[in-house]
Amino acid sequence: MEDRADIAVRAHCLRVATWSSELAGAIGLSESERKLVKEAAISHHIPEILVDDRAHARLLAEMRLEAAWEQPLVPNDVRVVLETLWGRRPISDPAMGKIVAVLEISDDFDQYFESEPLFDDTDTPDQCANSSVAAMLSYLQVPSHGDVSRVIDRLPVFPRAAREVVRQAMNPNAGPLELEELAATLRGSFASPRSHHIWNHSLDVAEAAQMLALNCSITVDPAQAFLAGLIHDIGRLAFSNMPAAFLERFHRLTDGGCPAIEVEMCLAGRCHGEVGSETLEQWEFPPDVVEAVRWHHHPERSPLALTALCYLAEFMTDTQEDLPSYIRLNTACRRVGISMAALTELGHQKMGGLESLRFAG
């Protein structure tokens, strides 16, 4: 069975390949150079000794073993790129310089997000990662800040429904029927077919957040948890209305294994948590709900139990919007007072009590 660490490295290599290919296209590398960059990225964690034919042969001879394969592990042109990347041969020409730079920037960029949970507010990520992030943003960012704001403003149906939802959420005696009514009020805002999966996921997260509120040792209002879960990804709804050029690049990257949070930060400079919280602020949602939505992928940045609850509810629904992080999971569990074992147990419980509100498909 494949080790967890192997799975994580493979996923990282895949993401670096996807970022590299996109970046290579953006800076005008040819189709064949783009293919080469992608193949090198896929292999960039192969142990150096397996790529170096002579060292590999020497190792096998010392161990009195024979090579199990005739072909080299990676094609020759990929090996040259990898050896240049690892500093074992000089950069041969300007094209190779660009190929190696694309790989380095993409690798640093992905590692920046992998290590982000380790930063606290006083930390600044190292200079190398900073310049890679800046390079990635400058080459791949599609819309201006203004575009994102325009998209947020272009959700005309929602404010009326939102006012009604806020009114309903203030009901201190809200039971299952009232919460279902609250969800029904918002459903119409996700009527566009491309939003259906976001709505169905929102129902899952609302249920999971409510269940967590009922089972954690910190007091969190289950109705408020339900509301926060229901609208936690409203920023994704805004992003789904972005211009075609943005959506094209967004889907190419997410289809290639890059999580939505990384892609949003790269293409728009903000993630859906931030965009969603700005929307909810305008619509005068309760401040705790606004904060929980803002940081639902960064629970370490908010002291609220509601934020941690939203993070855990996302985790329980296996949404893959962000890189998995044991540190964040642990932080969130501790904040709401639930053990990992209890969380896993809750994850096995059947949800789906809001079937009538789901969209088909």
200 is a contact residue toward Fe ion (CB under 5 A): no
165: helix, strand or coil: helix
- For 229-265, b/e burial (b = at least 16 CB within 10 A) is bbbbbbbbbbbbbbeeebbebbeebbebbbbbbbbbb
Residue nearest to Fe ion (CB): 233
CB of 200 to Fe ion, least distance (A): 11
321 is a contact residue toward Fe ion (CB under 5 A): yes
Q: What is the dihedral of CA 10, 16, 20, 21, to 10 degrees?
A: 40
The residue from 200, 241, 319, 331 that contacts Fe ion (CB under 5 A) is: 319
- Cβ closest to Fe ion, residue 96 vs residue 152: 152
274 is a contact residue toward Fe ion (CB under 5 A): no
3-state helix, strand, coil in the chain (%, to 5): 70, 0, 30
CB of 80 to Fe ion, least distance (A): 41
89 torsion bin: left (phi>0), alpha (psi -120 to 50), beta (else): beta
Rounded distance, CA 353 to CA 96, Å?
A: 56
233 is a contact residue toward Fe ion (CB under 5 A): yes
CB of 233 to Fe ion, least distance (A): 4
- Cβ closest to Fe ion, residue 115 vs residue 200: 200
- Cβ closest to Fe ion, residue 129 vs residue 231: 231
Length of the chain measured in residues: 361
Interface characters, 119-158, with Fe ion (x: CB under 5 A) = ----------------------------------------
CB of 77 to Fe ion, least distance (A): 40
264 is a contact residue toward Fe ion (CB under 5 A): no
Rounded distance, CA 289 to CA 277, Å?
A: 8
Q: Do residues 210 and 354 touch, judged by C-beta distance below 8 A?
A: no
Q: Where along the sequence are the contacts to Fe ion (CB under 5 A)?
A: 233, 314, 319, 321
